[in-house]
Structure 1
Amino acid sequence: MTIDSLKQSQLMSKEISDLIISHEKVAHVQLQNPLDHALLILIKSGYTAIPVLDNDFRVRGQISKNEILDSILGLERLEIERLHDITVETVMKNKIPRLKTDATFAKALTTSINHPFICIEDEKTSFVGILTRSSILALVNRYFQQ
């Protein structure tokens, strides 16, 4: 085994724990929040999508600007007045990428291909934070620069 292949193997088997953005720093909403609140959080944070959590701090899905705008799209105009009457739970995506805290970098890299972020959960399925595609790419870039 060459030094390069050994380094590559070490990178791919590395745990993702060092790359996780802690839940305290992650913008999120809850299931029963109205869409106007979710849209405000999305706009203020600058993100296009954020996690949706339940009262037990478990990930239930994600909400994006696209889902919100689709839900108020009328035949001839945006029905903005509906934003306060619709809850996050009714329009969020339920199937989202998730990994456990001990997942390998290889699994995270594969999962991140089609997703800007991955929700990270502990062994009790409580929300720990997120892993962004940009943090994964930054590590890959550092690897190739060495």
Structure 2
Amino acid sequence: MLDLSNFDLSSIPVKDSMIDAEIVAHVQLQNPLEHALLVLTKTGYNAVPVLDLESKFCGIISKSNIVEEMFGIEQIEVSRLHEKKVEDVMESDVPTITEQDSLEKALHILINYSFVCVVDEEEKMQGIYTRREILKQIRNEFYRQQSK
């Protein structure tokens, strides 16, 4: 049986296993929704961070945000994707963490999100921390215990 009583998530900093911002797919505030949908489709992600021109984190855009915007009163209006910008439909009230925060704090956020953005004191995105990463940490602890 897995015993996590000695596995202290509050002592492990996020920066040890976050994904660096340089390799994270994202879109910018002023991008048209059609560009955001293309990025999401080509990467296979359901959501990506939204940044401004100075790499400041502004929110998250998801496929659902975009698809919902396409629905007109009587039909799907794909032309609206060219007219609307990412900033018009993105979620802006999204929690973030810092590199110094613990995995425990990330875990609480990852209950409702598939990833959380890691930002610095100026809100510039440093990377992301994903559910996958926290599950890998728990798996590694499990294997460590098994080898004892």
Same fold (TM over 0.5): yes
Partner of 1:136: 134
Q: Does the aligned pair in 2 maintain the 1:97–1:115 contact within 8 Å?
A: no
Alignment deviations for residues 42-78 of structure 1 (CA, whole Å, 9 cap, x no partner): 0011100000001111110110010001111012321
**Whole-angstrom CA distance in 2 between matches of 1:41 and 1:62:** 13
**Whole-angstrom CA distance in 2 between matches of 1:8 and 1:81:** 51
Q: Does the aligned pair in 1 maintain the 2:58–2:92 contact within 8 Å?
A: yes
Alignment deviations for residues 104-125 of structure 1 (CA, whole Å, 9 cap, x no partner): 1111111111110000001222
TM-score, reference length from structure 1: 0.91
3-state SS of 1:61 partner: strand
Amino acid in the other structure paired with 2:53: N
3-state SS of 2:31 partner: coil
Partner of 2:113: 115
Runs of 5+ unmatched residues, structure 1? none
Calculate the aligned-residue CA RMSD, in Å. Answer: 1.3
Q: Does the aligned pair in 2 maintain the 1:52–1:60 contact within 8 Å?
A: yes
How many residues of Structure 1 are paired with residues of Structure 2 in the alignment?
141
Partner of 1:8: 7
**CA-CA distance at 1:13 after TM superposition:** 1.2
**CA-CA distance at 1:24 after TM superposition:** 1.1
Runs of 5+ unmatched residues, structure 2? none
Displacement over 6 Å in runs of 4+ = none
**Whole-angstrom CA distance in 2 between matches of 1:95 and 1:141:** 31
**Whole-angstrom CA distance in 1 between matches of 2:115 and 2:130:** 4
Amino acid in the other structure paired with 1:138: K
3-state SS of 1:50 partner: strand
Amino acid in the other structure paired with 2:137: L
TM-score, reference length from structure 2: 0.90
**Whole-angstrom CA distance in 1 between matches of 2:39 and 2:55:** 18
3-state SS of 1:84 partner: helix
Partner of 2:70: 72
